Amino acid sequence: MYAFAYHRPGTVRQAQSALHKHEDSKLLAGGQTLIPTMKQRLASPSALIDLGHVAGLAGIEKKGRNIVIGAMTRHADVASSAVVQEHLPALADLAAHIGDPAVRHRGTIGGSLANNDPSADYPAAALALGATIITNKRKIAADDYFQGMFTTALEEGEIITKVSFPMPSKAAYAKFPNPASRYAMVGVFVAKKGSDVRVAVTGASNDGVFRAAPLEAALHTKFNAKSLEGVSVDHTSFISDIHGSADYRGNLVTVMAKRAVLKAQGK
Amino acid sequence: MSATGIGAPVRRKEDFRFITGKGQYTDDINRPGQTYAAFLRSPHAHATIKKIDLSAARASEGVLAILTGDDLAADKVGGLICGWMIHSKDGSPMKAGAHPALAQGKVRYVGDHIAVVVAETLAQARDAVEKIHVDYEVLAPVVALDQATKSGAPVIHDVAPNNQVYDWHLGDKAAADGAFAKAHHVTKIDLVNNRLIPNAMEPRAAIGDYDSGNDAFTLYTTSQNPHVARLVLSAFIGIAPEHKLRVIAPDVGGGFGSKIFIYAEETVCVWAAKKVGRPVKWTGDRTEAFLADAHGRDHVTHAEMALDEKGKILGLRVKTKANLGAYLSTFSSCVPTYLYAPLLSGQYNIPAIYVEVEGIYTNTAPVDAYRGAGRPEATFVIERIVEIAARELGQDPAEFRRKNFVTSFPHQTPVIMAYDTGDYGASLDKALELADYKNFQKRKKESAKNGLLRGIGFSAYIEACGIAPSAAVGSLGAGVGLWESAEVRVNPVGTVEVLTGSHSHGQGHETTFAQLVSDRLGISIDQVAIVHGDTDKVQFGMGTYGSRSGAVGMSAISKALDKVVAKAKKVAAYALEASEGDIEFKDGRFSVAGTDKSLAFGEVALQAYIAHKFSGQELEPGLKEGAFYDPTNFTFPSGVHICELEIDPDTGVTTIERWTAVDDFGNIINPMIVEGQVHGGIAQGVGQALYEGAHYDANGQLVTASYMDYCMPRADDLPSFVIDTTLTPCPSNPLGIKGCGEAGAIAAPPAVINAITDALGHEDIAMPASPQAVWRAAQKSVHKLAAE
Ligand SMILES: Cc1cc2nc3c(=O)[nH]c(=O)nc-3n(C[C@H](O)[C@H](O)[C@H](O)COP(=O)(O)OP(=O)(O)OC[C@H]3O[C@@H](n4cnc5c(N)ncnc54)[C@H](O)[C@@H]3O)c2cc1C
């Protein structure tokens, strides 16, 4: 780790001005990505702006037909939240399977979405559920937010404050963990709301999380695992590494999608 | 059996300290005025060093010294050594290239040591490392084992122009060829034993400390054998004479072999301490551990088995290429030779065996002993080929094994070993029963109904432990004798300190060794302290590896205890005013036969020290005895492990459903600790089979250099194990102990792979059998699901 300055703002506005004031500074949320990167000397921010003491950034509430989660809400709190478990159990289940207990007690939903790791779990939920990412400046629809691996619509100085998830009629997440890291090697989030079906895939593509149109079309016809028989996604731009080549990941997308549908149907 | 004696499942005495964070590991130790070392490591697999520019680094804040290979040469510090000489078929000695602790002119693997920066703080040392500029001429690397000895391959060490360290053999070629000539059936197999990275929980660390007043050094280090470290650093590397070098291996958090060896880092720290004039500490980080701890395994093997018409084994031929990495680590040369080939007879009566092994240099981290060391590789070969032979002959794999078991002892194999005792059929019977083998087909059908492929795999392993008779290993090329020493010091109040040359780094010696004392002297284990890991306290020792601490280390203690009891009887005779021949010692009391006169052990200890009842001319005061124990043979633990698993053909995920292990470890001191050793061993063996594998890319970059890519087995990957034992006491040591530390890691890999190939229907599969690999094999599987 290189030396850095540390700032502890109390409000989003203070955080924003601290970010502005210190060149090459970075927001610190749970630190589960940022700190390891700094320890390996792969990142060297001049200053860390710790969001941990900013009032009102953590918390979960039901607002009408939406579940709204503060950016600094830890994965463990989403997993154990009675509100999430009741109205959006697929999200509680997803959060419960991120990393290990230590990671879940530090890592935050805002940090995960800001980072947009191509193997992270939350992006699949946000995209499949049609979430809205709320920042200190604007509201961004999930469809516009994810722009390729580690790339988002966030601008310089923009801070995620909340994420709003519309409640689906049926939803589930099926994750195939990378054997070593246990990040998603393929994670498929399936959400049905009225006649609308959205399927988001994480872990598989070099372009990060994406919506799987062929799977959505098949499920739109009939929301049933059988509908996915023989349906596949184009895997040409998929990740190939020692754990799984593109074709294997392609196979896993369909398999995990089927399992997600079965889970969504309570089977 | 007393509450804390031999055979009692006593809770580990050391665990309170470890669980409450009170352990003292090397990194917990801090010396006054301590400085910090950071190493510059090679980013290239193979390169010549044209120039090193230290100017910017020297000017960096807090830097006290920067040392390179030139400084080592100027100080005439010797290179790291390999302590076991192997001779090739043609009688020529192995080709050991120079192994300087800091590179001299060339780097040979990613992670190779180039320079050390010593600074006031660790961050400053690391900052300065980044400011060292090295001008490299990058050379083509040798990575793939099968390409390494081809003509035109880049040369790693000039002494080995074709990268071959040795071309060794064992056994009788003519006899083996004769067996194949008359064979009814020949089974052939090609195998890769995947490279593993040890991953002890505590990374390696070292503190070098120099006392200018006495011109003496102290090295605190993560070692499994501090006396061997001192011997090598002193006699070969030339840091200081032995009486001026103290090596302390305090609490050590796991070793699995990787902490046997004498590495560059500790050598540099102790040498640098004098140059800097202050203590120098280095603590490896996890990346350094991945890159530069000695790796394990890494064999490519072709094997052939000759069989008669009934399925009796007639002969075995094995050809192995063993990757030794870029340099010969301390014991690397013996692992794929004498720790491997002599085990290829397995539990079987094989009249003729011929083994050829090529040791090969590559531009990868050095490879040396790792849990099991050679024996897992041998067991993998024999248990895979036996399984396939049974399948090819259409015979039940369990009964095929039984038919070929060695049944009379002692049994001389054609490859050195003389098995002393065992009952392989008994372990097999018990394992089949516990695994409910007879209902396996029913369970397989059930799985198929759920779309899953179920398989069962056997592994009937044998290992040679208790390493080993000094004369025997000496004749095979070892540079050291492999006896063990012990000293038993009885204090005047009757408490006991045992000084042992064994070293505990997870094995629980503080408990088991105390149980032996408790059993023999009739005192509680709370009255016994086990002292180890300090060359100033313990006179000498060969350390802990090869499951030798029970069989060899405890036998030395046992011998010393015999002497203590003999002397104490003399003291008791004076104190009780009886003749020595009338003194009986039982349950901690010395009594005069046929009378009610007796003294407790502690009372006799006091008499020995106050020496009021006898004169120093009659008997020396005090009660302290030492012993060196050199075993008469290896020990031969054996057993049968059965793995039953399910494969999800859609994803390739393998789930182990049942694990049955029936082991014969000889007599057992503490069954709970033995069970723990078996659990850990199986986990590591399953790790090799399903999860772990070091992977270098074509440029020699280690792809699996962190836990993001190197997959360790986790608790939730494993079922609850069904574990039992059979017993044939070992005849070659006084305690009848065989050893248990490596059994699981040796037995498990073939059991898993045999089960996977059984589930898939004879498809061979490489380790680690990752979900992707199993999925691919399942696509081609000849076993179609009944349900489909
Ligand atoms: C061992 C381990 C295992 C893991 N396993 C998984 C897994 O299985 N699945 C998974 O999805 N993830 C996994 N993670 C990642 C983890 O879940 C974290 O969510 C993730 O690292 C980012 O969240 P964080 O709060 O730690 O963010 P930080 O590390 O603090 O920050 C990450 C980045 O986001 C920026 N940032 C943070 N908060 C905001 C904000 N509110 N607005 C704008 N920018 C912001 C930071 O500046 C930084 O660039 C794992 C991590 C570890 C260490």
Per CB-CB distance under 8 Å, the chain B contacts of A241 are 709
Q: Is residue B171 part of a domain?
A: no
Co-location of B305 and B400 in the same domain: yes
Co-location of B547 and B490 in the same domain: yes
- Which CATH number is B117's domain given? 3.90.1170.50
Out of A13, A33, A44, mutate this one to test ligand 1's pocket (max ligand atoms within 8 Å of CB): namely A33
- Are B261 and B330 spatial neighbours (Cβ–Cβ below 8 Å)? yes
Total number of domains constituting chain A:
3
Does residue A176 belong to the interface with chain B, where contact is any CB pair within 8 Å? yes
In chain A, which residue's Cα lies nearest the Cα of B650?
A255
Q: Is residue B224 part of a domain?
A: yes
Co-location of A185 and A144 in the same domain: no
Per CB-CB distance under 8 Å, the chain B contacts of A244 are 771-772
- Which CATH number is A260's domain given? 3.30.390.50
Residue A171: pLDDT over 90: yes
Out of A4, A24, A34, mutate this one to test ligand 1's pocket (max ligand atoms within 8 Å of CB): namely A34
Co-location of A259 and A222 in the same domain: yes
What is the average pLDDT value for chain A, to the nearest integer? Answer: 97
Co-location of A202 and A246 in the same domain: yes
> Angle at Cα B289 formed by Cα A33 and Cα B139, nearest 5°?
100
ipTM field? 0.95
Out of A27, A54, A186, mutate this one to test ligand 1's pocket (max ligand atoms within 8 Å of CB): namely A27
Co-location of A124 and A99 in the same domain: yes
Co-location of B598 and B651 in the same domain: no
* Inter-chain residue contact A242 with B709, CB threshold 8 Å: yes
Q: Which of B703, B708, B772 sits opposite A248 (nearest CB)?
A: B772
Total number of domains constituting chain B:
3
* Structural domain boundaries, residue A188: 170-264
Token pair of B281, please? 């500490």
Co-location of B223 and B365 in the same domain: no
Does residue B697 belong to the interface with chain A, where contact is any CB pair within 8 Å? no
* Structural domain boundaries, residue B516: 483-629
- Which CATH number is A32's domain given? 3.30.43.10
The ligand 1 atom at the shortest distance from the C-alpha of residue A120 is 11
Does residue A13 belong to the interface with chain B, where contact is any CB pair within 8 Å? no
Does residue B286 belong to the interface with chain A, where contact is any CB pair within 8 Å? no
Distance from CA of B288 to the nearest CA of A (A): 12
Co-location of A24 and A95 in the same domain: no
* Ordered alpha helix ranges (H), B220-365: 226-231, 264-276, 286-292
Query: What pLDDT is recorded for position B216?
Result: 98
Give the whole-angstrom CA distance, residue B756 versus residue B749: 11
* Ordered alpha helix ranges (H), B611-664: none
Q: Is residue B189 part of a domain?
A: no
Co-location of B112 and B127 in the same domain: yes
Separation of CA A167 and ligand 1 centre (Å) = 24
Per CB-CB distance under 8 Å, the chain A contacts of B770 are 179, 243
Distance from CA of A241 to the nearest CA of B (A): 10
Q: Band of the pLDDT at A267, cuts 50, 70, 90?
A: confident
Q: Which of A1, A180, A252 sits opposite B711 (nearest CB)?
A: A180
- Which CATH number is B488's domain given? 3.30.365.10
Closest protein CA for atom 3 of ligand 1: A99
- Which CATH number is A95's domain given? 3.30.465.10
Q: Any idea how long chain A is?
A: 267
Average pLDDT over residues A93-121: 98
Co-location of A161 and A205 in the same domain: no
Does residue A1 belong to the interface with chain B, where contact is any CB pair within 8 Å? yes
The ligand 1 atom at the shortest distance from the C-alpha of residue A28 is 30
Q: Give one DSSP letter per residue of A171-227, joined into a string.
A: EEEEEEE-TTT-SEEEEEEEEEETTEEEEEEESSBTT-SEE-HHHHHHHHH--SGGG
Co-location of A161 and A174 in the same domain: no
Domain-terminating residue out of B597, B629, B661: B629
The ligand 1 atom at the shortest distance from the C-alpha of residue A182 is 8
Q: Is residue B163 part of a domain?
A: no
* Inter-chain residue contact A243 with B772, CB threshold 8 Å: yes
Give the whole-angstrom CA distance, residue A167 versus residue A91: 10
Query: What pLDDT is recorded for position A63?
Result: 97
Q: Is residue B147 part of a domain?
A: no
* Inter-chain residue contact A248 with B776, CB threshold 8 Å: yes
As a dihedral over the C-alpha atoms of residue A254, residue A257, residue A258, residue A259, rounded to 10 degrees, the angle is: 130
Give the whole-angstrom CA distance, residue B149 versus residue B152: 8
Co-location of A251 and A232 in the same domain: yes
Domain-terminating residue out of A148, A166, A184: A166
Separation of CA A60 and ligand 1 centre (Å) = 18
Co-location of B503 and B573 in the same domain: yes
Q: Band of the pLDDT at A1, cuts 50, 70, 90?
A: confident
The ligand 1 atom at the shortest distance from the C-alpha of residue A108 is 25
Co-location of B306 and B413 in the same domain: yes
Query: What pLDDT is recorded for position B782?
Result: 53
Residue with tokens 């179920």: B454
Residue A99: pLDDT over 60: yes
Average pLDDT over residues A38-67: 96
- Are B695 and B702 spatial neighbours (Cβ–Cβ below 8 Å)? yes
- Residue B64: which residues within 8 A CB-CB, separation 6 or more? B35, B118, B119, B120, B276, B278
The ligand 1 atom at the shortest distance from the C-alpha of residue A34 is 29
Query: What pLDDT is recorded for position B574?
Result: 97
* Inter-chain residue contact A180 with B707, CB threshold 8 Å: yes
Token pair of A33, please? 């990505």
Co-location of A73 and A151 in the same domain: yes
Domain-terminating residue out of B579, B605, B629: B629
> Angle at Cα A100 formed by Cα A95 and Cα A106, nearest 5°?
70
Q: Is residue B186 part of a domain?
A: no
The ligand 1 atom at the shortest distance from the C-alpha of residue A161 is 41
Domain-terminating residue out of B605, B629, B653: B629
User: Which residues of chain B are under the pLDDT cut of 50?
Assistant: 786-788
* Inter-chain residue contact B711 with A245, CB threshold 8 Å: no
Co-location of B648 and B622 in the same domain: no
Co-location of B668 and B640 in the same domain: yes
Separation of CA A33 and ligand 1 centre (Å) = 5
Distance from CA of A252 to the nearest CA of B (A): 7
Co-location of B698 and B645 in the same domain: yes
Q: Considering chain A, what percentage of its residues have pLDDT values greater than 70?
A: 100
In this structure, the strands spanning A132-135 and A160-166 are antiparallel
Q: Is residue B765 part of a domain?
A: yes
* Inter-chain residue contact A255 with B775, CB threshold 8 Å: no
Separation of CA B43 and ligand 1 centre (Å) = 29
Q: Is residue B401 part of a domain?
A: yes
Q: Which of A2, A179, A248 sits opposite B711 (nearest CB)?
A: A179
Co-location of B108 and B238 in the same domain: yes
Domain-terminating residue out of A166, A195, A213: A166
pLDDT in tens, A210-231: 999 999 999 999 999 999 999 9
Distance from CA of B695 to the nearest CA of A (A): 8
Closest protein CA for atom 17 of ligand 1: A107
Co-location of A41 and A104 in the same domain: no
Co-location of A49 and A75 in the same domain: no
Co-location of B710 and B757 in the same domain: yes
Token pair of B582, please? 């009338």
In chain B, which residue's Cα lies nearest the Cα of A40?
B287
